[in-house]
Structure 1
Amino acid sequence: MSMSTHHGLPLDDDIVDRIMTFCSTFGTLKSTILVSKAFYRVFQTRPKSITRAVAYNIFGPALPQALRVVRYPYHDYTSPSDDPVAMAEACPEDHTHSFITVEEQEKLQENSKVVAALEDVYSVINKDRTSKTSVLTSDESWRFRRAMYRIMLYCNQFPGSGFIQYDDESIENIRKQRTAVLSEYSTNELLQLHSAVKFLRRIFFNLSGIGVFYFLCHSALVADAVPRDSILIDALLSAGPSGALRGWEARTYGVLEDDIDFEPFENDEENPLFVGYLSLPLENIWTARDITPPKEDEPVSKWILDQVNGANDTCSQCSHPGGLSLYTEANWQRFPVFLTNLLKGHLKRNPTIAQPFFAATSHLVNADALGPFIGDLFPLTAHTAPAFDGWERTGSYCFACLTKFLEEHLWVWWLEERIKSGWTPPENCWYGWNCRTQTHKQSHADTKNHLCAPIKGDPV
């Protein structure tokens, strides 16, 4: 057996091979190959097996699904007249040891970042609300990622940006193509895909006006009552996992304008290709296989997760049962960003206060910024009512309690921020934040400080 030399130490070629197969990314593998001529030589003799091993380190058992996404010949199947069966069977999921090109590696790495980030979101919403990063088991992660890559493929095959007005016959054939593509998977795998689709629908649901309304009325991110007939949600689904992640991070589906043509929705027009984008082919398959379809009220975690952590937990303050919908430091970014509406009393209707406050907090629409901001409010408890003594940033809070906390702290934070920026408060208004005059008399709003507790007026 041949030997290599590295820094004067003899290394068996199999050991060098083994070292390279432990690389966690393609970039690490590339750097390792450049360590010495010996590593380079061994790689040149075993490129397929080493590259495949590193790919498995990145994607695990979902590698065949990830490879199909980057290898599928999308350009060959774009016409409504294409044979549905041929479209479904093109480029099967690769379970062999085929060579992975550099171009494929780059695309795989890009897609893996999307799926990994979505798994973190899925985990904190559906598995364990106390961890920002995924705590899914290896089996749960495999089910989730396999489903996500299959959804990614489907959305690449039927992109929303390519939807134009077809005749009835073409529309029917496209629907057959969609059904044929999904029919390639087993029933159990389709149930997992259904759960993953439901998760994406929840993300898009809460980026839409429907979701905002639900926030205000029901105070929960992962509401079960997602309207199935919402064509907008179906259209957003066509943006796929990457679109869902971008929308989640920006907290708006406006970032998907390049992916989806929103003009028909603005003109109250319907595109039949958006209707039942993923649900219709699944329904066709349930019927063809004589299977009872999944129930609408089933949790998103069903078919993917084996166990949920903290499902029966209660609010740290009011003991209201909330489970995974409770807010913790790991998921504060889920809180609906209407901070100006949470200003105490009538402050929200005082433009002298509300407008600069909105400008100062507008950046919190970013999911990564809101959580740290809420955490920094807890030290302000010393300035507020004694009722908040004992409230800890490590607690779990229902929507009502967290809203109450923010209402009692935001105005104090804003007062301190304005003073830090050089503002000298004028004389306090006797009615403080509960003053009605500040909302309709500009001179009073400008000459009196209302960022203070009332000492006169109606009891609050």
Structure 2
Amino acid sequence: MTMRGLSALPLDDDLLDRVMTFCPTFGTLRAMVLVSKGFHRVFQTHPKSIMRAVAYNIVGPALPQALRLIRYPHPPPEDPIDMATTCPEDHEPSVFTDDEKKLLQDNAKVVQKLENIYSLTTKDRTSRTSLLTSEESWRFCRASYRIMLYCKLFPGNIYSFDELEDLDDVQIAKIRRQRTAVLNEYPTDELLEIFSVVKFIGGIFVEVNGGIDSSDDLDVLLSAGPAGAVSCWEDRDASGLDEDLLNLLDGDENNLFAGYFSLPFQNIWGTRNIKPPKEDEPASKYVLDQVNGANDTCSHCATPGGLALLTQANWDRQQILSTQLLKAKLKSNQTLTFPFAQAAGNLSDPEILGCFIAGFFAMSRRAPGFEDWEVGQSYCQPCLTKYLEEHAWIWWLQERVKTGWVPPEDCWYGYNCNTQTHKLAHAQQKNHLCVPTRGSV
């Protein structure tokens, strides 16, 4: 009878194989293979199937689309049909190179972040982590990887200004045929998923950049794809995008990017003789089976708001100028506005803004009429703004006292005092972070 060595694992090879297929990352798999001769031996026997399983753990059921994205050859074929059919999505199990592992994991992080944003803004406003069902998530991720491939094939920074000016109508028409051919490979239901996610990504660019000057600018931004949308969402502006692409926003109108996605969609709807999606219908219906809280109302005023209502999960979507939160005439008191803005911090940073608002709900002192407002409720923007305005001055008073500040004598007119706005001495000598005892409150 053969005995196992003291260093051997008391498990059969098929169990070792099975254990490795549950590794959440390639790094975990590598550590497991290096730490045990048993794992190493089994891995050398079945490297393709084990790597495929780990890749699935990282990406999920959209793995075929993710693999096509990282393995599509560069430069791509020029013939539209060849471009559309090269490197099909139904890959057989294979060994991954180190570069492929990194790309697969990096792209998966982008898609997961984008899905979290999509869920928060389109599915359920109460959670920063995706609440999409497994089927909804598959549709979304599949479309996202296909959009990433499309943007890889037709990047916004592929031409310089001079090269763009030199492109003639024949060359532009060829590129448009290529774009149409690439999207035309997908069945209609999956093409509508792509349409839905493109609309969502475009919405991010519009929201974050304070509106888009023209459809041409939006087409240019769409070429940044999911990674560009995530970058804009996190940074709250487009400054993190490729510099060459941003330069196109300042340039003259060019036909290359006009209808970046919309023209291929239009061509395909016409060729397939199907009605295009209606502008007044939510594109999310092609991805989502259900929206949570679509008919919810404001917890205070009962105004219908649905997904637009603000909760602790989506407060960072607010655009707030800190000094505008100061009540009444305090906004114009120069002895208060600058130090208040410093204390509030950079409210364009989502994390800082979220903590700032949450702190107002954690205050032990509440303004009259707001005692029953709770942090876990949902509010329309006017109501939440009103809550913040009624408590900003109280918060600022408490923060100043914490640092050792001793308030001078209260001004009779408190935060409503007109004199504080134009007489520096009065603003400095009296405390205006208080409720008026004369005049209107």
**TM value normalised by structure 1:** 0.88
**Alignment partners' CA distance in 2, 1:175 and 1:350:** 58
For the residue of structure 2 that corresponds to 1:61, the secondary structure is coil
**Alignment partners' CA distance in 1, 2:249 and 2:303:** 39
Alignment of 1:124-135 (within 5 A): 124-135=120-131
**Alignment partners' CA distance in 2, 1:360 and 1:68:** 49
Distance 1:4 1:328, change over 3 A: farther
**Alignment partners' CA distance in 2, 1:120 and 1:67:** 22
Alignment of 1:33 onto 2:29: no
For the residue of structure 1 that corresponds to 2:343, the secondary structure is helix
- The code of the aligned residue for 1:456 comes to R
Instruction: Provide, for residues 421-442 of structure 1, a one-character-per-residue CA deviation record: whole Å limited to 9, x for no partner.
Output: 3433333333322233333444
For the residue of structure 1 that corresponds to 2:84, the secondary structure is helix
Q: What is aligned with 2:16? A: 16
Instruction: Provide, for residues 86-124 of structure 1, a one-character-per-residue CA deviation record: whole Å limited to 9, x for no partner.
Output: 222222213321222221011100110111111111111
Q: What is aligned with 1:419? A: 401
Alignment of 1:11-410 (within 5 A): 11-76=11-76, 82-163=78-159, 164=161, 165=164, 166-210=167-211, 230-258=215-243, 260-262=245-247, 264-266=248-250, 269-380=252-363, 382-385=365-368, 387-410=369-392
Return the offset for 1:238: 1.4
**Alignment partners' CA distance in 1, 2:7 and 2:293:** 52
Return the offset for 1:205: 0.9
- The code of the aligned residue for 1:74 comes to H
For the residue of structure 1 that corresponds to 2:11, the secondary structure is strand
Return the offset for 1:244: 0.9
Q: Which of 425, 437, 441 lines up with 1:455 in the alignment?
A: 437
- The code of the aligned residue for 2:273 comes to D
For the residue of structure 1 that corresponds to 2:284, the secondary structure is coil
Instruction: Provide, for residues 358-379 of structure 1, a one-character-per-residue CA deviation record: whole Å limited to 9, x for no partner.
Output: 3333423122332222111112
Q: Which ranges of structure 1 fall in alignment gaps of 5 or more residues?
A: 212-226
Contact 2:295 2:306 (C-alpha < 8 Å) held by counterparts: yes
- The code of the aligned residue for 2:46 comes to R
Contact 1:74 1:156 (C-alpha < 8 Å) held by counterparts: no
Return the offset for 1:454: 2.4
Distance 1:10 1:383, change over 3 A: closer
Contact 2:209 2:236 (C-alpha < 8 Å) held by counterparts: no
Distance 1:443 1:176, change over 3 A: farther
Alignment of 1:432 onto 2:428: no
For the residue of structure 1 that corresponds to 2:67, the secondary structure is helix
Distance 1:415 1:136, change over 3 A: same
Farther-moved stretch of structure 1 (349-358 vs 149-158):
349-358
Return the offset for 1:398: 1.2
Contact 1:130 1:328 (C-alpha < 8 Å) held by counterparts: yes
Return the offset for 1:9: 4.7
For the residue of structure 2 that corresponds to 1:376, the secondary structure is helix
- The code of the aligned residue for 1:194 comes to F
Distance 1:276 1:337, change over 3 A: farther
Instruction: Provide, for residues 120-175 of structure 1, a one-character-per-residue CA deviation record: whole Å limited to 9, x for no partner.
Output: 11111111112221111111000000111111111111222224412222222222
Q: What is aligned with 1:220? A: none
Return the offset for 1:181: 1.3
> Identity rate of aligned residues, in percent?
57
**TM value normalised by structure 2:** 0.92
Contact 2:67 2:91 (C-alpha < 8 Å) held by counterparts: no
- The code of the aligned residue for 2:326 comes to L
- The code of the aligned residue for 2:396 comes to W
Deviating above 6 A after TM superposition, structure 1's stretches of 4 or more consecutive aligned residues are: 2-6
**Alignment partners' CA distance in 2, 1:266 and 1:448:** 50
Distance 1:413 1:179, change over 3 A: same
Return the offset for 1:5: 6.3
Contact 2:9 2:38 (C-alpha < 8 Å) held by counterparts: no
Q: Which ranges of structure 2 fall in alignment gaps of 5 or more residues?
A: none
Return the offset for 1:8: 4.9
**Alignment partners' CA distance in 1, 2:60 and 2:230:** 21
Return the offset for 1:259: 5.8
For the residue of structure 1 that corresponds to 2:347, the secondary structure is helix
